[in-house]
């Protein structure tokens, strides 16, 4: 079974004539359409806002085009705050959700007017070291044994993120005493989730918690951030989340749970993976083949370009360009050049017969792909290209050079 591509062989060849492999190629039209579909799914909530998880694809050009579609930025580091600032986002257009945060980072976020989403009440003192208590404050909830999480984000009881219910209530009370007047609630329980019910369970949990906070503290939650976690159908047979169905399900819960309790919060989300993941492709060329106890296809990309298969055992579909219609005839491991045995982009993958020089398209790499790159063995980070709706290509990040690699050291 094959996955579709937003470009044909002729278009890719035109790009290859100008840019050497490996490189990332993003489909602008697909990213924009996915963002619009999400906004439409939650159009029933007039205050809805999507905050793009910058960590997924931290390229200013990508964040900018999502800004143009109405997205804010979900940031977790100083660099992500800087990206947001430099493309013109400020104030409540930025959600700063970090953990083990320094006062320096909080000061930068406060100066931008970002919404501060505290990981734990013990960070209140760190926040105060950076400035005054902001009028708007949010907390990240960890449900512990209430939920099971999933493979990527882990069991909530083992997760380093968020705080307990008791700590949450203590945090709101203290922030209110310190002058906060506008409160939000957040959690992130699952990642890369394809089951709508699991996502709806998160909404139910937060809606119930918002009522508890009102009953216990008299605090009205003004916005509820459902987190992200909407998955990508990495395998061709995977059924992706229907955004319209998900939005309708949250709407039904909202009317059933929150409205009778006198609450009408804005709904926020912080999706990254589902927005850019399916619309990014790692383009690599076959440079070597070898047969030992297995058959290996060596490519010029490696784990430092795409960590997910080596880190999580994640599946990324592969298309051999020009051989899309050919039957898969051989089981191979697709490997890179790192001195690491888990530098494998695919294991026991059925592919058509490939030869040195063939171009492989690695699908669904638009989120947590280039972003998780590293430089082990001195392997350099590759370029990022944007395929525009008119068919033109824009280089939005050049490939690193050896001069870049050695720029911070002295010989």
Domain that holds residue 126: 42-271
d(CA 199, CA 163): 20
224 plus 320 within the same structural domain:
no
Buried b or exposed e, range 74-97, using 16+ CB within 10 angstroms: bbbeeebbebbbebebeebbbbbb
Residue 313 covered by a domain:
yes
Average pLDDT, the chain: 95
15 plus 82 within the same structural domain:
no
264 plus 308 within the same structural domain:
no
Residue range 383-408: mean pLDDT, rounded = 98
Residue 411 covered by a domain:
no
- 219-258 pLDDT tens trace: 999 999 999 999 999 999 999 999 999 999 999 999 999 9
- 140-176 pLDDT tens trace: 999 887 766 555 555 676 677 889 999 999 999 999 9
CATH number of the domain to which 218 belongs:
3.20.20.10
Known active-site residue 163: no
Residue 3 covered by a domain:
no
Contacts of 255 (CB under 8 A, 6+ apart): none
Residue 264 covered by a domain:
yes
> Which of 229, 247, 271 corresponds to the end of one domain?
271
* Ramachandran sector of residue 222 (left: φ over 0; alpha: ψ -120 to 50; beta: rest): alpha
266 plus 286 within the same structural domain:
no
CA 343 to each of CA 87, 280, 290, 291, 301: distance values in angstroms, whole numbers, following the listed order: 35, 20, 15, 17, 10
Residue 31 covered by a domain:
no
Residue 30 covered by a domain:
no
Residue 402 covered by a domain:
yes
For a pLDDT cut of 90, what percent of the chain falls above it?
A: 92
d(CA 108, CA 130): 9
| Cβ 34 vs Cβ 55: under 8 Å | no
- 288-319 pLDDT tens trace: 999 999 999 999 999 999 999 999 999 999 99
205 plus 110 within the same structural domain:
yes
DSSP 180-223: --EEEEE----SSB--HHHHHHHHHHHHHHHHHHHHHH-PPEEE
Q: Note the pTM of the prediction, 2 decimals.
A: 0.95
63 plus 186 within the same structural domain:
yes
CA 257 to each of CA 200, 216, 396: distance values in angstroms, whole numbers, following the listed order: 13, 17, 45
pLDDT of residue 105: 98
Q: Which is the catalytic residue, given 163, 302, 339, 382?
A: 339
**Own/partner long-range contacts of 68-73 (Cβ < 8 Å, ≥24 apart):** 69/32, 69/35, 69/36, 69/39, 70/35, 70/39, 71/35, 71/275
213 plus 255 within the same structural domain:
yes
253 plus 288 within the same structural domain:
no
pLDDT of residue 145: 74
206 plus 329 within the same structural domain:
no
pLDDT of residue 152: 53
Count CB neighbours of 33 within 10 A: 13
CATH number of the domain to which 373 belongs:
2.40.37.10
- 326-370 pLDDT tens trace: 999 899 999 999 999 999 999 999 999 999 999 999 999 999 999
> Which of 254, 271, 288 corresponds to the end of one domain?
271
Q: How many structural domains compose the chain?
A: 2
17 plus 88 within the same structural domain:
no
Residue 37 covered by a domain:
no
114 plus 185 within the same structural domain:
yes
- 70-82 pLDDT tens trace: 999 999 999 999 9
Asked if the model's pLDDT at residue 191 lies above 90, the reply is no
Residue range 27-35: mean pLDDT, rounded = 98
> Which of 271, 291, 325 corresponds to the end of one domain?
271
327 plus 266 within the same structural domain:
no
| Cβ 296 vs Cβ 370: under 8 Å | no
Residue range 115-129: mean pLDDT, rounded = 98
H/E stretch holding 140:
strand 136-140
């Amino acid at each position: 079974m094959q996955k579709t591509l937003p470009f044909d062989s002729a278009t890719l060849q035109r790009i290859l004539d100008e840019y050497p492999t490996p490189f990332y190629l993003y489909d602008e039209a697909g990213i924009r359409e996915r963002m619009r579909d999400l906004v439409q799914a939650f159009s029933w909530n007039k205050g809805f806002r999507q905050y793009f998880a910058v960590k997924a694809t931290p390229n200013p050009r990508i964040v900018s085009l999502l800004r143009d579609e109405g997205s804010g930025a979900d940031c977790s580091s100083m660099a992500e705050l800087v990206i947001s600032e430099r493309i013109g986002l400020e104030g409540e257009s930025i959600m700063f959700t970090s953990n083990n945060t320094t006062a320096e980072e909080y000061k930068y976020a406060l100066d931008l007017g970002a919404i501060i989403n505290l990981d734990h009440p013990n960070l209140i003192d760190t926040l105060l070291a950076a400035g005054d208590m902001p009028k708007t404050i949010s907390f990240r909830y960890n449900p512990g044994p209430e939920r099971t999480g999933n493979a990527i984000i882990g069991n909530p009881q083992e997760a380093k993120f968020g705080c307990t219910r008791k700590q949450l209530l203590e945090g709101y009370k203290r922030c209110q005493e310190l002058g906060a007047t506008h409160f939000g609630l957040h959690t992130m329980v699952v990642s890369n989730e394809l089951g709508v019910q699991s996502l709806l369970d998160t909404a139910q949990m937060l809606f119930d918690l918002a009522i508890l906070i009102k009953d216990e503290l008299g605090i009205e939650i003004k916005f509820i951030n459902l987190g992200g976690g909407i998955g990508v159908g990495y395998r061709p047979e995977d059924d992706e989340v229907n955004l319209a169905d998900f939005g309708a399900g949250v709407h039904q819960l909202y009317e059933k749970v929150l409205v009778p309790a006198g609450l009408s919060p804005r709904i926020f989300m912080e999706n990254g993976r589902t927005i850019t993941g399916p619309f990014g492709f790692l383009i690599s060329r076959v440079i070597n083949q070898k047969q030992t106890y297995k058959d290996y296809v060596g490519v010029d990309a490696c784990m430092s370009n795409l960590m997910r298969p080596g880190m999580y055992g994640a599946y990324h579909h592969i298309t051999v360009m020009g051989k899309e219609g050919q039957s898969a005839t051989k089981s191979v491991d697709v490997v890179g050049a790192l001195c690491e045995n888990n530098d494998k982009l695919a294991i026991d993958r059925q592919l058509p017969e490939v030869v040195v020089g063939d171009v492989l398209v690695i699908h669904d790499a638009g989120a947590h792909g280039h972003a998780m790159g590293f430089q082990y063995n001195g392997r350099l980070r590759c370029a990022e290209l944007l395929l525009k709706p008119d068919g033109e290509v824009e280089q939005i990040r050049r490939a690193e050079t050896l001069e870049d690699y050695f720029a911070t050291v002295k010989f």
